[in-house]
Amino acid sequence: MTTVAFMVILPLLLHIAITMVMKNILVRSLDQVPYEVWVFPGIIMLIASVSTFSVVYRDLFDLRIHKKSFIPITLAPYGKTQLVLGFLVTTIIEALVYVIIAMGVLTVLLPEPFHWTAYLFIPLFTFVFNFLLGNLMITFSVLTDRISTYLLVMIAIFFFVLFGTGVLVEFEFYPKTIGIILSYSPLSMVLSDLRGILFFNRLNWHLIFIPVFVSVGWTWLNGYLLKRKLKQ
């Protein structure tokens, strides 16, 4: 019940703290999209990030460092990459539930809803975004042994998602070099491509394939790291 309440309250909080404030400053994006509409996919990705963090912590880091059921899980007849994939699937499914509820809540607050196809594209892109972000969090969940270090890293990742992937403002507002570098981050590519398809009906396949390829490679790497860490 608490989780369901949180799923509804979180998008409301973000809308109040981000959208309602920022729309008075930026009003419209550089492509003349109203800010509260432009920021919608970013808010959704933020919510996906928060749920990814909680699920990776619950299913992997907490079980591992507190010696709960993690070792018995690793003794089951699966390869380590399969286990990582299992953690990712759980993460993505739970994040999608958060995202679907958030889309419903935030749509009520929009001046007019998106075209119905947008509500199919957003979960699809969230899937890719979470595939990447989940891998990033899994890497640190495997490599870190102290909760303090882990939290520090996770907060840093959250700040990176917030300010370094184009969630709040366009990269054109950043110093030119930094804006270019950040736009080449696979996480930024997903969000940028999602906005392209939502606002301009323009899909850059390479912006979706690169993150997917990176994620697949990263999943394998996480499997290898897990195997090394466990000495199995």
- Each residue 25-64 as x (binds other proteins by CB under 8 A) or -, in order, gives --------------------------------------x-
Stretch that binds other proteins, among 15-23, 69-77, 135-143, 210-218 (CB under 8 A): 69-77
- Residues touching other proteins: how many (CB under 8 A)? 17
The string of DSSP codes covering 76-125 is SS--HHHHHHHHHHHHHHHHHHHHHHHHHHHHHHSSSPPPTTHHHHHHHH
Q: Least distance in Å: CB of 107 to other proteins?
A: 33
Q: Which of 4, 21, 31, 68 binds other proteins (CB under 8 A)?
A: 68
| Burial status of residue 5 (CB atoms within 10 A of its CB: 0-12, 13-18, 19 or more) | exposed
Span near other proteins by CB under 8 A; candidates 31-39, 66-74, 150-158, 168-176? 66-74
Q: Which residues contact 56 (CB under 8 A, 6 or more apart)?
A: 87, 91, 134, 137, 138, 141
Among 38, 61, 70, 171, indicate the residue that binds other proteins (CB under 8 A).
70
E strand or H helix at 134, and its extent? helix 118-143
Residue ranges that bind other proteins, judged by CB under 8 A: 63, 67-79, 230-232
